[in-house]
Amino acid sequence: MKGTRDILPDEAELWRTVEQTIHEVMRNFNYREIRTPVLEQTELFARSIGELTDIVSKEMYTFADRSGESVTMRPEGTASTLRAFIQNNLGEQGSLTKLYYLGPMFRQERPQAGRLRQFHQFGAEAVGSMAPELDVEMMLVPLDICNRLGISKTSLLVNSVGCQRCRPAYKELLKAELIKIRTKLSPESRARVDQNPLRVLDSKDEGDRKLTASMPLMKDHLCDECSPHFSRVQDLLKALRIPFVIDGRLVRGLDYYTKTAFEITSRDLGSQDALAGGGRYDLLVEELGGKPAPGVGFAAGMERLMMVLEKQEIKTALGSALKIFLIGLDSESRSWAFETACALRARGISAETDYLERSLKAQLREANRQKAEYVLVVGGQELQSGAAKLKEMATGKESVVALSTFAHTFI
């Protein structure tokens, strides 16, 4: 199906390594995993992401189920995580709840490199604190994951999109400026001037960008709460020596943000260059029916991360998964090989044998193809003598092992 893809075994191995790194980094930062359903009530996304956003207005997989209820396959993880947070009372009064997730998301976008209809995100959400330190932590988590995987040459773009106190006045100011040039804007931006003027600023259209080059920016019109918050985020980044760029045009495609918004981009991604994006959403929990609680989070695209790994030729696949390949040369030794493979697997050792009655040569070729760490060849003679040669494939070293105790003494 258009915009979806299979993750074949070789690639799945790489995914597991990356996922392992994600789990480790999340544990280090003390985030706990949450798994929410793919299907949610449509209203959840309309209320959180915003009716007028591209995601909600044109990209969601929404349908009426058999009872007539409108359901949607989640286009992102924040809304679902907060719904679960509220429904399950995860946040005690005055506490901080740190959650992370990893899983498939669905958006009916026009497929292109780095843009899929079923894609995977990993992300984190922290609910219960206004501290700018947490905004910075949300940038550090994906940066640390990139670092550990060996990904270099990323850029961190940071902005503040203000809050309910300062944004409405700025929006009017911007709108008034945009109306003056409305007819020259691209059709997409023209349509946004009235309802969502901020999005005009992060239009990808070159003409729009030139026309809006000297427009007022939100970051220069922040209130006395948002302004020091933004300064503190920058000071913290500087203290940690994290390079960043202030991008006053960064708006993001979701409506729930207040104060900090950020993106991590990579030049190795082409036009869809965002590896990760996130920000603060201090009103969202309340908007979704929870007790008022500020929050901040990020999400990153797995497929885009994989694209960068490939582009930067980083090989992070797990080592050989197969410990031993047991080769049987006749029906009796094949049975022995199968039973011994089962005994080894029961001990937690990965083992494989032949199920296709292949020749010794073909079985050896298969063991090589499977990157088995060891090979044991057993025939009538070995069964009779009760001993066989165990070969370590990387070094070619051979040692004689006893068949009767092999399954219990190997490793």
Binding site for ligand HAM (CB under 6 A): 76-78, 107, 109, 114-116, 119, 121, 123, 125, 253-254, 274-279, 297-301, 303-304
In terms of Cα–Cα distance, which of 124, 118, 125 is closest to 38?
Answer: 118
Q: Which is nearer to ligand HAM, 100 or 336 (CB)?
A: 100
Q: Give the residue with the Cβ less far from ligand HAM, 299 or 372.
A: 299
Distance CA 188, CA 131 (A): 36
Report in angstroms how near the CB of residue 287 gets to ligand HAM at its nearest.
14
Report the candidate in 117, 79, 86 with the shortest Cα–Cα distance to residue 101. Answer: 79
* Closest CB to ligand HAM among residues 265, 363: 265
Token pair of 6 as six digits: 């299979």
**Nearer to ligand HAM by C-beta: 77 or 328?**
77
Q: Which tokens go with 399?
A: 């040692």
Least Å distance, CB 218 to ligand HAM, is 17
Residue 25 and residue 31: Cα distance in Å, rounded? 9
Instruction: Work out how close the CB of 54 gets to ligand HAM at its nearest, in angstroms, rounded to a whole number.
Output: 10
Closer to ligand HAM by CB, 107 or 334: give it: 107
3-state SS assignment for residue 387: strand
C-beta of 162 vs 297, nearer to ligand HAM? 297
CA-nearest of 81, 92, 87 to 31 is 81
Dihedral sign computed on CA atoms, order 162, 163, 168, 169? negative
CB of 96 to ligand HAM, least distance (A): 15
| Residue 218 near residue 160 (C-beta atoms within 8 A) | yes
Radius of gyration from C-alpha coordinates of the chain: 27
Residue whose pair of structure tokens reads 């079923």 in the numeric block: 118
Closer CB to ligand HAM, 116 or 237, in the complex: 116
Q: How many CB atoms lie within 10 A of CB 129?
A: 18
State which residue, 91 or 328, has the beta carbon closest to ligand HAM: 91
For residue 360 the two structure tokens come to: 């010794």
Of 119 and 170, which CB lies nearer to ligand HAM in the complex structure?
119
| Strands 61-64 and 70-73, bridge-based pairing | antiparallel
Q: CB of 374: closest distance to ligand HAM in angstroms?
A: 40
Helix, strand, coil percent values for the chain (each to nearest 5): 40, 20, 35
How far CA 74 is from CA of 48, 61, 85, 132, 240, in Å, comes to 12, 8, 16, 28, 35
The nearest distance, CB 257 to ligand HAM, in angstroms, is 7
C-alpha–C-alpha distance, residues 284 and 86, integer Å: 11
Residue 91 or 114 with smaller CB distance to ligand HAM:
114
Contact 154, 143 (CB under 8 A): yes
The residues, any chain, with a CB within 8 Å of residue 232's CB and separated by 6 or more, are 132
